[in-house]
Chains A and B, each alone.
Chain A
């Protein structure tokens, strides 16, 4: 196979939020191959981490991702606490859990909105983001920031959740349950959504294992893994909740997993509020001994994995970060190939890569090697497909 001529829109373009680039090779309507180019956002954070002292690294890794910004520092502090065998105060564990679950809520709502947009349901987009807003307000109330909360520190958390915050938090959760009910109904009962998402972009169970995918992408393919259950951290082992697993592996299953997970998150936060003990929120860690530690966190997109090694100085000598999308995005190779181009945007978005990666899509006709469509065209194509389905189903 030789594909000579490529006229790329992107990876850098004023319309695009993040640089990442997919080349889809198509024959007629069918996607026959996909080539992913990443690395535009490689900032050398692992190397940078070697030049920061242990406390600074938590702030550094918080900047890896703007959406699940607490997952990386959370995994990092878990790793250092594993390394140095630090006992974290109970109250801090509960606060960490609340922050992590609030983050899952806003992240899943964000994905739901974008997924709606890609298949032409702009109302879902607006509503999902409207209900994401109060979650961000909760972050602002508790941490002072809507993103990059800087809550995690080695040995505890930086800020307490105060008594006066609890009523507003509870009220937001109550409203959110009703919103999730609405989204669940909208997705489960809509024949057009069924037609658009069922049987599309399938990742089989064996493929999920071979590509070593994680998070909702794995759980929608029948792989029952969730770090919160398997290797509990924070307060997850003291809370009653369940892992959502679906078998089909298509986009509908991935959507269902994320929607149902929101109920679990809300329930986890409610239980944390009730069970949270009083007392210290920080173990006041001074020195980090030589050694190595592994910390992991179930981020909204799956397992976030940090490995830290110390030689006894105040800086890590090696810090390895593996974000969940690293495993999930690669699996697009099987999920998207064989489908049609009108399903490509939603398939690529279904693993919830750091959002809007699909706008970096270029479609190349294999017979002529010419670029024929770009990301916006693809979204339009996908939205038109929904419109046509609506007409044919008369809804």
Chain B
């Protein structure tokens, strides 16, 4: 069974949208509440490597793409979640699942103002200590 089929099967029932931009570039939309379970399946059960996550302030809400790479075939699976509440975006932290996600969640927290519930060490990573509270440089209003 190809990795695409395995991912599809593992995430069955949780996929809102499946889009293949290129043979090795797959974007999968899921609900924010399904994220932690989905990441756990991809990382722990299927052995995908966590690359990074990219947050974005869109017109529909705060969006995060969690990029996973399956290095045997070079395919990238990007899990897309949308938090519609732009004022107070929140999502489960995936850092408790594996430590490699700690820094990027801290970065998205300080740059986009997304709260990661259950993050073990949610403090500033890149911004200076005297940067004002509540100003998020990557939000569109900045």
Contacts and interface: CB of A to CB of B under 8 A. Distances in A.
Nearest to A303: B51
Contacts of B91: none
A309 B25 CA distance: 14
Interface in A285-340: 291-294, 303, 305, 307, 309, 317-318, 320, 322, 326-327, 330
Interface in B65-100: 65, 67, 69, 71-76, 78, 98-100
A305 B126 contact: no
Given A42-B126, A47-B137, A318-B54, A212 B100 contact: yes
Contacts of B16: none
A319 B50 CA distance: 18
Q: How large is the interface on A (under 10, 10 to 19, 20 to 34, 35 or more residues)?
A: 20 to 34
Interface in B29-57: 49-52, 54, 56
User: Chain B: interface secondary structure?
Assistant: mixed
Nearest to B97: A210
A231 B67 CA distance: 15
A39 B25 contact: no
Interface in A192-224: 209-213, 224
A232 interface: yes
Contacts of A210: 98-100
A27 interface: no
Contact of A305 (B24, B52, B71): B52
Contacts of A232: 74
Contacts of B3: none
A338 B136 CA distance: 37
A42 B127 contact: yes
Given A38-B125, A39-B127, A225-B71, A307 B138 contact: no
A227 B27 CA distance: 19
B21 A292 contact: yes
Contacts of A320: 52, 54
B103 interface: yes
B71 A326 contact: no
A189 interface: no
Report which residue of B54, B76, B104, B126 has the largest number of chain A beta carbons within 10 angstroms of its beta carbon: B54
Nearest to A323: B52
B14 interface: no
B1 interface: no
Nearest to A327: B100
B49 A212 contact: yes
B22 A82 contact: yes
A185 interface: no
A264 interface: no
Nearest to A46: B138
Interface in B116-142: 124-128, 137-138, 142
Contact of A225 (B49, B50, B98): B49
A230 interface: yes
A163 B40 CA distance: 53
Given A292-B27, A318-B56, A320-B52, A305 B73 contact: no
A318 B17 CA distance: 21
Given A42-B127, A211-B99, A230 B52 contact: no
A225 B70 CA distance: 10
Interface of A: 38-39, 42, 44, 46-47, 82, 85, 209-213, 224-225, 227, 230-232, 291-294, 303, 305, 307, 309, 317-318, 320, 322, 326-327, 330
Interface of B: 21-22, 24-25, 27, 49-52, 54, 56, 65, 67, 69, 71-76, 78, 98-104, 124-128, 137-138, 142
12 contacts: A38-B126, A210-B98, A212-B101, A230-B73, A231-B74, A294-B25, A294-B67, A294-B76, A305-B51, A305-B52, A317-B56, A330-B102
Q: What are the nearest 8 A-B pairs in CB distance? A: A231-B74, A212-B100, A320-B54, A39-B126, A322-B52, A42-B126, A230-B74, A225-B71
